[in-house]
Amino acid sequence: MSRIDELLLKIEQLEGELETELRAKREDLEYTIRRHKVRFSREIKEKQHEFLKKWLDYVYDSGPLIILTIPIIWGAIIPCLILDLVVTLYQYICFPIYGIPFARRRDYVIIDRQNLGYLNWIEKLNCMYCGYFNGVIAYVREVAARTEQYWCPVRHARPVKSVHGHYRQFFEYGDAKGYREGLEPAREELARKLREEVLNRKK
């Protein structure tokens, strides 16, 4: 295993540890998740409500310059919606042909901050927007990553600022023999691995 492989594996392990810590934090903050919905006890809801800031105060404290940016930031929702639709159609049409299991959109687009009692309706709306937009970007990245691993699983010559989870399986830059001999087996392994993940989620 090369040093690059070791570092990429370490990143994956740290992501697993992060998920474990986030689960533990849920218990500290006294909430549960049932059927994809967040549940707080009545006592916790009442405590959260004590920190609610009135929406008029929230707008006033934001200042005029921030208010003027609202049409710009919300205007970006239109290309995001189109991107969401196009990528979803793409994977549902093309992935069965390639033999690649679908990326589950709901694993990436998570909108749940509106359940927090200390957010006013404007903050909740903004949080729903951010959850949707960043979720779509993560979802699109996963679809693109699966596509990249199928069609061109070659690492870049230059360092990449942020790599996706499939990058570790890519061939070294310049490894012509490895690429030609290993491309089809790599495609089969991608499909097998993703099918296993789907089966494990159903258990």
pLDDT over 90 (residue 16): no
Q: How many Å apart are CA 140 and CA 12, to the nearest integer?
A: 19
pLDDT in tens, 34-61: 666 776 767 777 787 788 888 888 888 8
pLDDT over 70 (residue 131): yes
pLDDT over 60 (residue 103): yes
Cα three-residue angle 41-46-49, rounded to 5 degrees: 125
Q: How many CB atoms lie within 10 A of CB 110?
A: 13
Residue 36 is predicted with a pLDDT of 63
The total number of residues written for the chain in this structure: 203
Q: pLDDT tier at 24 (50, 70, 90 boundaries)?
A: low
Q: How many Å apart are CA 109 and CA 88, to the nearest integer?
A: 12
Token pair for residue 99? 């033999």
pTM for the model: 0.79
Residue 30 is predicted with a pLDDT of 62
Q: How many Å apart are CA 133 and CA 115, to the nearest integer?
A: 18
Q: How many Å apart are CA 155 and CA 182, to the nearest integer?
A: 14
- The identity of residue 81, as a single letter, is L
Q: How many Å apart are CA 101 and CA 67, to the nearest integer?
A: 43
- Of 86, 67, 83, 69, residue with least CA distance to 132: 83
Residues 6 or more apart whose Cβ sits within 8 Å of residue 136: 80, 83, 84, 108, 109
pLDDT in tens, 56-70: 888 888 889 999 999
pLDDT over 70 (residue 94): yes
pLDDT in tens, 147-188: 999 999 999 999 888 888 888 889 999 999 999 999 999 999
Cα three-residue angle 18-44-125, rounded to 5 degrees: 70
